[in-house]
Structure 1
Amino acid sequence: MDKRLATRLVHVLLLFVIAFGAIDLRMAWIGWRASREQRSGSVSAQSAALQRSDRLELDTGRAQFLDRRGVYLTGETVLALAAFPSGGMPRGTEAAVAQLASIMNIDKMRLGAWLDGMREADVWRAADGRRAYALTEDQAQKIAKLRLTGIALLPYRNRYPSPDSLNALHAIGYVSQNPERLRSLYGESVRERKLRLTDSIGGAGLEMSLDRWIHGVGRTEAIVVTDAARRPLEGLGLRLQAPDNPHYPLHVRTTIDSAVQSAVQSVVAKHRIAKGAVVVLDARNADVLAMLSLPSYDPTRIGKTGTDEGNHALIAVPPGSVFKTVTLAAALEAGVTTLSERFRCQGHYGRYGLKCWREEGHGVLTLEEAYAESCNVVFAALAERLHPGALQKTADRLGIGRQVGWHADEFLNGGPLRLLQEEQAGTVFKRVEDGKDGGVRTGTGIGQRDVRMTPLQAANLAVTLIHQGKVLAPRIVSELRYADGGLLAELPSQSAPSAYGSIRPQTAAVLRHAMRAVVLEGTAEHTLGDRKWPLAGKSGTAELGDSSALGNDHWFVGYGPAEGEARYAVAVLIENQPTGSRNRAAQLFGEIMDRLLAREEPR
């Protein structure tokens, strides 16, 4: 529904075009106005009457999420058909009910059964059974002419749009009922009856991490006063009860760019990716422009479909050869190799049973060529040369093996805030002492063994190299504003420094050059070498276990353009691919970058 129609609903159709049997429409409107004027406090007589009432929640009062340009990601307002229990009173003539069914293009028997069996006020739901069915303006005008008892046209806010149009679903998260957690977090509000145990609470994503600040100051409800038999009382009509606070609900401005998110979703859908993640960061400041996780899910049906609801962009998994970026940095920082060194790969390392992916070997290689060709033998040798703690510390310097997302120790007097609360830290070694074992170290150096990395960390690794080794904290929310536009809180960009310091700018430059070589003459040459933008990156294929039946995860991490100012850093993860299959992540990376370039070109 467009904004103009939504505005008309609020200012015009909020007259609640309602036909409560013999209740005069004018009286219904006057009754509603009186209720609005007294919504912040009720006289005792009204309070007593409202104890016998039917209530329909139209809006939870929860904050709305917007993208960076002000496009709403939640809070779809629709005009809905609402019905209240009639207390045995006839709804109207059979012809009128049939006409209502015809207007809404639904089965007359189904509509009749819904109305006759009604025990609680509700709205007619869409096919998914969860979201309110959105009436068109034409339907609304026709229904308004019918005289049916206990039927109303009301503006209703669907928290989430349809699954097909959801942007940044996993990042936004979902709300669900969790009485125990609600009582634990908001016990005082429950005792004061500001919250009900049946109220929804943030269960994942930003809905969860920001919950204490965004659950609002109260719901908006439509109320019908009834007698003891639940028959609507003539003359009292339909009333609206809403918080009398112009500052709420809040607006949460995210860094998500809906156009970028949609482009990513389109590419992934084209390739029919079943499981994985894509993260797109603004290379200039590490803002999250898009975050996609698969499989998708319906936030209105949590726990009812058996669907994997985790955010795979924040789950740490084996990175494969992407981790060779860390190994190369550690070797250069430790001085155990130089760019002029030559290596010989004969297809196997000769120790620990480690082999190169190219069975016949790569022959003689420079350090950069070994990275571009992703030679296991060279990187196993480099890892074994390193001090046991070098890989762990270098990974930390690059934002790997720790949480890097935006956080504050104190936020709006509500305690600490970590926006991406579900972000996993990942690992380099399962135990510190494992780094002393040469065999463990060689496997770690090529991104296997116990190495775990999230797609968010991987994309941010590219940003770190672009910024000469300085780790920035990926940010997904920029500000919170009141409903009237006033600023409540700004969340500025921040860095995420390591306790071990940073890598040298010279090392970062070598790594960027090596990532460019991957595209120009290495493993991604045929896939990315002729793209419209000059690109740079690193592919990875992570083995999921000793059995080939477990398959592999495919990675590609990179940035573009690789010449001039970089604009985007992207990580692509495709999980559970057949062993020996071509790495598909580089192809997706290239197509996503093509889409992003099209956005940058003059129109």
Structure 2
Amino acid sequence: MNGPVHARIFKLMIVLAAVFGVMEARLAWVQLGGGGRSENAVAGLSKQAYLQHSDPLELDSGRGQFVDRDGLPLTGKTIRALAAYPTGGMPRGSDRLLQKLADTLGESVEQVGAWLDAIREPLVWKKGKTGTVVALTEAQEKQIGGLGLTGVAVVPYVERYGAEAGGGLALHAIGYTAQDPARLTKLYGKELASGKAKTADQIGEAGLELSLNRLIRGIGSTYAVATTDGARRPLAGIGMRISGPANPHYPLQVRTTIDADVQRAAEAAMKKHGIKEGAVVVLDADRADILCMVSLPAFDPAHIGIAGTDARNHALIAVPPGSVFKTVTLAAALEAGVTTLDETFRCTGTYGRYGLNCWLHGGHGVLTVKEAFAESCNVVFAALAERLDPALLAETADKLGLGRQIGWQIGSFVDGKPLRLLEEEQPGAIFATPVAGKDGGVRTGTGIGQRDVRVTPLQAANLVVTLLHGGRVQSPRIATEIRYADGGLLASMPARGAPSEFGSIKPATAAALREAMRAVVTEGTAEQALGSNEWPLAGKSGTAELAGKRPAMNDQWFVGYGPAKGRPRYAVAVLLENRTAGVRNAAPAVFGDIMDALRRLERTDPVPPARS
């Protein structure tokens, strides 16, 4: 549904939806507590109804919700929650009933009583350091409903994030909302002026909440309204009512490419190995769909800024790739015809210039380029880098999707505006300046993935997909469609390529790189970690030295694919950040655990047509 015509239709539907919501809204007068509502009670309000005070409690913001690729919710689970509102001094009930309420909640009567006494506006019952809304069981709801307490009710509350919403999965990919009056004013000043928006409204600040904010804002919140008199005393027989838009098209639903099972498996693998900082990206090898995006440290979208958490998505942050970048150096050398996989070199452990040494003390001895890739020999790749024109090295990186943003984007979406799904994606870099690569020391350091090279885990995983597609760069997407609440399609995000302005590497070069990546597992640095997994695997390890860190720290990498024989299904990038220098690279082991989990989770989807 792209193009100017559909854009106008979309805008018209938004206007009609708002009008429809105002003119046709049905206020669902649902009795939730404080006695039964009678027709006489409503009819008898007469003129006094205009003088009554209403205290609203937001139950649902009306924002669109996110589901995984199979339709499982990632946000927006409706729970039953305990709500209470001020009573203007009226007693809520006897001590015996308050004790029963406390017993039902599993709390002391003193704690529950203090909470009720302190209420000055409608609130829901929360627990824990971060104030998590408590989900009531069906039995608890029934017991509380039978107590007949004044100003107490059980309401349907939409928990947007966390375990109650969708298992707390892919939180960095989904992102979060926050109150941001300055940004809200900048983007929606006219709506604020007209009263259609409030400065207290939530706005997308990160992830898909940010990139899709303008589309999923919704047409209004749903509230529980406590109806009171001028002294804020509950009106007899009215209790709480639910008020909100009655438009069948809203809220919208965004179908993401995230696979909840794959996400859980990757998160479990990182936890198993005690990883505190890093990222994992799992891409579908055929379409470059993002099946999983892990970022650590974790965070709570409902409580940003808690110590020890990090809302930044490390999968989209560019960092030094270390020897993973040797894939680019080898591609450039093969494309330029300055080497072959069979050319031999002698590694003595030192390059002799620029203070560059091999990681293996004493060197690897005589080895071929293919063996040098498998063993991640710095000396051989420094020599190859010196043979290359720096512009060619940078262009080859671009051909492989590095040094630029490659996430799914389009110039005109359904609303006629540009859309980039991964707004926080960093482009990375190859050289700090266009002329930096002319320096031999800079070029050799770049050739082994140090100096100014920066790559995101998303780019690293997509580089592998590019090789599996014979050199054609795909554009990773994290969402496939947006639908109305009644199931109608609003917009789709079809798979797209992300071609380089410099063209593509040759299919033969891509094949040679895949062969070299397989050697990493069969005879190289990952043989011990990945030699006995359920699938035959292929990939490239990397260790990036972090300048200025004391004590010395490294980032550890492994990127690869599986199965390496037959039809590859998945491309995976694992980044472990701020690891103590000298410790074993744990990234291959994490990669192997994820691949084993993927093997066990093999889907029964029809196999797409073979790639050419």
Quickly name the TM-score band, shorter chain normalised: over 0.9
Q: How does 1:523-562 map to 2 (within 5 A)?
A: 523-545=525-547, 549-562=551-564
Q: Which residue of 1 aligns with 2:249?
A: 247
Residue in structure 2 matching 1:389, options 374, 388, 391: 391
Counterpart residue identity of residue 480, structure 1: I
Task: Check if 1:412 corresponds to 2:414.
Answer: yes
Instruction: Report the 3-state secondary structure (helix = DSSP H, G, I; strand = E; otherwise coil) of the residue aligned with 1:364.
Output: strand
The Cα shift of 1:367 comes to 1.1
Q: Which residue of 1 aligns with 2:278?
A: 276
The Cα shift of 1:126 comes to 3.0
Q: Which residue of 2 aligns with 1:589?
A: 591
The Cα shift of 1:272 comes to 1.3
Q: Which residue of 2 aligns with 1:209?
A: 211
The Cα shift of 1:549 comes to 1.5
Task: Check if 1:112 corresponds to 2:118.
Answer: no
Counterpart residue identity of residue 78, structure 1: I
- The one-character-per-residue Cα deviations of 1:146-168 (angstroms, maximum 9, x if unpaired) are 12111111110111123993111
Question: Quick one: structure 1 residues 253 and 463, their matched pair in 2 at CA, closer, same or farther if it must change by over 3 Å?
Answer: same
Structure 2 unaligned spans of 5+: 1-27, 605-612
Question: Quick one: structure 1 residues 61 and 522, their matched pair in 2 at CA, closer, same or farther if it must change by over 3 Å?
Answer: same
Distance in 2 (alpha carbons) for counterparts of 1:80 and 1:475: 36
Counterpart residue identity of residue 112, structure 2: L
TM-score by length of 2: 0.91
Distance in 2 (alpha carbons) for counterparts of 1:137 and 1:312: 40
Q: Which residue of 2 aligns with 1:293?
A: 295
Q: How does 1:126-145 map to 2 (within 5 A)?
A: 126-145=127-146
Distance in 1 (alpha carbons) for counterparts of 2:423 and 2:548: 32
Counterpart residue identity of residue 123, structure 1: V
Instruction: Report the 3-state secondary structure (helix = DSSP H, G, I; strand = E; otherwise coil) of the residue aligned with 2:529.
Output: helix
Residue in structure 1 matching 2:481, options 479, 482, 489: 479
Q: Which residue of 2 aligns with 1:149?
A: 150
Seq. identity, %: 59
Instruction: Report the 3-state secondary structure (helix = DSSP H, G, I; strand = E; otherwise coil) of the residue aligned with 1:371.
Output: helix
Residue in structure 1 matching 2:339, options 337, 340, 349: 337
Counterpart residue identity of residue 468, structure 1: G
Instruction: Report the 3-state secondary structure (helix = DSSP H, G, I; strand = E; otherwise coil) of the residue aligned with 1:85.
Output: coil
- The one-character-per-residue Cα deviations of 1:14-40 (angstroms, maximum 9, x if unpaired) are 9855342xxx41428996xx9xxxxxx
Counterpart residue identity of residue 221, structure 2: R
Distance in 2 (alpha carbons) for counterparts of 1:336 and 1:493: 35
Task: Check if 1:176 corresponds to 2:178.
Answer: yes
Distance in 2 (alpha carbons) for counterparts of 1:460 and 1:29: 66
Residue in structure 1 matching 2:468, options 466, 469, 473: 466
State whether residues 283 and 570 of structure 2, in contact with CA within 8 Å, keep that contact through their aligned partners in structure 1: yes
Q: How does 1:297-316 map to 2 (within 5 A)?
A: 297-305=299-307, 307-316=309-318
Counterpart residue identity of residue 525, structure 2: T
Q: How does 1:43-192 map to 2 (within 5 A)?
A: 48-49=50-51, 52-162=53-163, 165-192=167-194
Two-structure CA RMSD over aligned residues (Å): 2.0
State whether residues 80 and 156 of structure 2, in contact with CA within 8 Å, keep that contact through their aligned partners in structure 1: yes
Q: Which residue of 2 aligns with 1:3?
A: none
TM-score by length of 1: 0.92
The Cα shift of 1:232 comes to 1.4
The Cα shift of 1:265 comes to 1.1
Instruction: Report the 3-state secondary structure (helix = DSSP H, G, I; strand = E; otherwise coil) of the residue aligned with 1:549.
Output: coil
Distance in 2 (alpha carbons) for counterparts of 1:268 and 1:382: 35
State whether residues 28 and 237 of structure 1, in contact with CA within 8 Å, keep that contact through their aligned partners in structure 2: no
The Cα shift of 1:169 comes to 0.8
The Cα shift of 1:257 comes to 0.3
Structure 1 unaligned spans of 5+: 1-13, 35-42
Residue in structure 2 matching 1:18, options 26, 29, 32: 32
Question: Quick one: structure 1 residues 386 and 47, their matched pair in 2 at CA, closer, same or farther if it must change by over 3 Å?
Answer: farther
Q: Which residue of 2 aligns with 1:6?
A: none
State whether residues 32 and 241 of structure 2, in contact with CA within 8 Å, keep that contact through their aligned partners in structure 1: no
Instruction: Report the 3-state secondary structure (helix = DSSP H, G, I; strand = E; otherwise coil) of the residue aligned with 1:389.
Output: helix
State whether residues 16 and 29 of structure 1, in contact with CA within 8 Å, keep that contact through their aligned partners in structure 2: no
Instruction: Report the 3-state secondary structure (helix = DSSP H, G, I; strand = E; otherwise coil) of the residue aligned with 1:65.
Output: strand
Q: How does 1:328-407 map to 2 (within 5 A)?
A: 328-407=330-409
Q: How many residues align?
A: 575
Q: Which residue of 1 aligns with 2:326?
A: 324
